[in-house]
Structure 1
Amino acid sequence: MGQKVHPRGFRIGIVEPWRSRWYANKKEYGDLLVEDRNIRLFVKSEYKSAAIEKIEIDRTRDQVIIHLFSARPGIIIGRKGQEIDRLKARLEDKFGRRMEVKIVEINNPYRCAQLIAEDIAQQLTKRGSFRRAIKRTLDQVMEAGVLGVKIELSGRLGGAEMSRREKASRGSIPLSTLQRKVDYGFTESKTAQGVIGVKVWVDLGDYADEENSDGANAEAGKVSKKAKRSHKR
């Protein structure tokens, strides 16, 4: 079961939050759902090099708030915030709504399955060896402190005449444990021989441990700021 179910969809509403947070009646629901998808596609296509992991959307009565989770926020923000203002203006023109764009920085891209999948796809598009790409990525992801990682490539690997599937994994990837944070990413690499699908699963440990580590990091950041202030005095 766990291999055929989207790990995030499996956990949504239990331990994972929704990516779109708003309420609408039956008449508006379908249109707003399509609009959310179009916003995500537009932003991802415009900022391919910004390493955007996910886009969360909140809606109020008269405003749409877009949260961009990016490993390279400087590309979206631009010089003196000019690029983010331009993005906001283009979104408002395209969708006819008042928009607000917020950037959330990702500190370690090797703990995000979607960014890992996109990195592998980029290597394959540049005609890199798929075996080297898998091995190198597995090493980098395990060094980031995760409990396990699994990578699956499917297509005409290495320019072969017949498509096949190649899998590689390190550590543990639980299939149906809801309290375990298993991140999942999928993308496609368009090569000269055809399209290669890239799937990545990353085991980040229990949700409780992840929250505790985030809290500890935030507390450590506050302590270091206080230490700097006292040192200046």
Structure 2
Amino acid sequence: MGQKINPLGFRLGTTQNHHSFWFAQPKNYSEGLQEDKKIRNCIKNYIQKNRKKGSNRKIESDSSSEVITHNRKIESDSSSEVITHNRKMDSGSSSEVITRIEIQKEIDTIHVIIHIGFPNLLKKKGAIEELEKDLQKEVNSVNQRLNIAIEKVKEPYGQPNILAEYIAFQLKNRVSFRKAMKKAIELTKKADIRGVKVKIAGRLAGKEIARAECIKKGRLPLQTIRAKIYYCCYPIRTIYGVLGVKIWIFVDEE
């Protein structure tokens, strides 16, 4: 039986860096870990809530016009309807996905750096101030002030979290898992990477017996420590049960 290890933890100190930078005494170390967990969960919950509100507003506003355009498209051409539908799925699936959250703690300040693929939601007026208030309530830090910074990822389709969110969106819309995996690998062509591997496990296509399917393209040297590899493990909740998605992306060697 092979002994597996997380590719990120295997490369800490060489090609991968820690997501938290702070120092604490042994008796206060557990409190610092719990504080980091609260900060990350609060940010993710804030983005999910605002994403749902935005999608509900779009559905309510565009429901009447959607019926009219739908009838016109059926009369003109049915193929154009399929193309526009796929474009909507592609654009709305990978929006506002956090790749990682870095936390840097000092004596009187907590620096939070949010690396995000498409920061449309957090660029709105008052979004960062509202997020700071929520974090202040969650952390309860009176003597420390919060400083939130947002950094856009240069190549969003080279991040495994964004690809996993895209696959989850496709599977929830009853798209075949093989098509979703192949489309995710096609999206990586927009990024400068050298290899990618996508693996899905669970009750695929609603079958009673769970199995695993895997698609690989390019090189993926998992045993080479100097190889820079991004890794993501993402659960997807469907009507058939929970599916697990694992994505490895080989960027470059140092």
TM-score category of the 2 structures, normalised to the smaller one: 0.7 to 0.9
One of 107, 114, 124 as aligned partner of 2:154: 107
Percent sequence identity over matched residues? 34
The Cα offsets for residues 88-109 of structure 1, whole Å up to 9 and x where unpaired, read as: 1110122112211100111221
Deviation by residue 1:133-179 (Cα, 9 ceiling, x = unmatched): 01111112134231100000011111111111010100011011111
Q: Number of matched residues?
A: 205
Q: What residue number does 2:120 align with?
A: 74
AA aligned to 1:145 is D
How many Å apart are 1:22 and its aligned residue? 0.2
How far residue 2 of structure 1 moved from its aligned partner, in angstroms, is 9.1
Residue 51 of structure 2 aligns with which residue? none
User: Does 2:248 correspond to 1:204?
Assistant: no
- Work out whether residues 127 and 191 of structure 1, in 8 Å CA contact, stay in contact via their aligned partners in 2: no
Amino acid of the structure 2 residue aligned with 1:196 = L
- SS at 1:38 equivalent: helix
TM-score (norm 1): 0.83
**Any idea what the Cα deviations from partners look like across 1:8-60, whole Å, max 9, x if unmatched?**
11011233111000000011110110110121122112213511100010000
Larger radius of gyration: 2
Per the alignment, residue 230 of structure 1 pairs with none
Choose from 51, 61, 66 the match for 2:97: 51
Runs of 4+, deviation exceeding 4 Å? none
Instruction: Name the SS of the counterpart of 2:34 in structure 1.
Output: helix
Matched residues in 2 for 1:109 and 1:14: separation? 23
Superposition TM-score, scaled by structure 2 size: 0.77
Give the whole-Å Cα distance in 2 for the aligned partners of 1:61 and 1:145: 39
Task: Output the CA distance in 2 between the equivalents of 1:77 and 1:96.
Answer: 25
Q: Counterpart amino acid of 2:230?
A: D
The RMSD of aligned alpha carbons is: 1.6
Q: Secondary structure at the match of 2:122?
A: helix
CA contact (8 A) 2:42 2:138 kept: no
What amino acid is aligned across from residue 4 of structure 2 in structure 1?
Answer: K
Alpha-carbon separation, structure 1, partners of 2:235 and 2:128: 27
Distance between the aligned counterparts of 1:84 and 1:2, measured in 2?
A: 45
Name which of 92, 106, 109 aligns with 2:136.
Answer: 92
> What is the CA–CA distance in structure 2 between the aligned matches of 1:93 and 1:7, rounded to whole Å?
35
1:62-92 per-position Cα deviation (integer Å, ceiling 9, x unaligned): 221110001122211313xx10111011101
Unaligned runs of 5+ in 1: 208-233
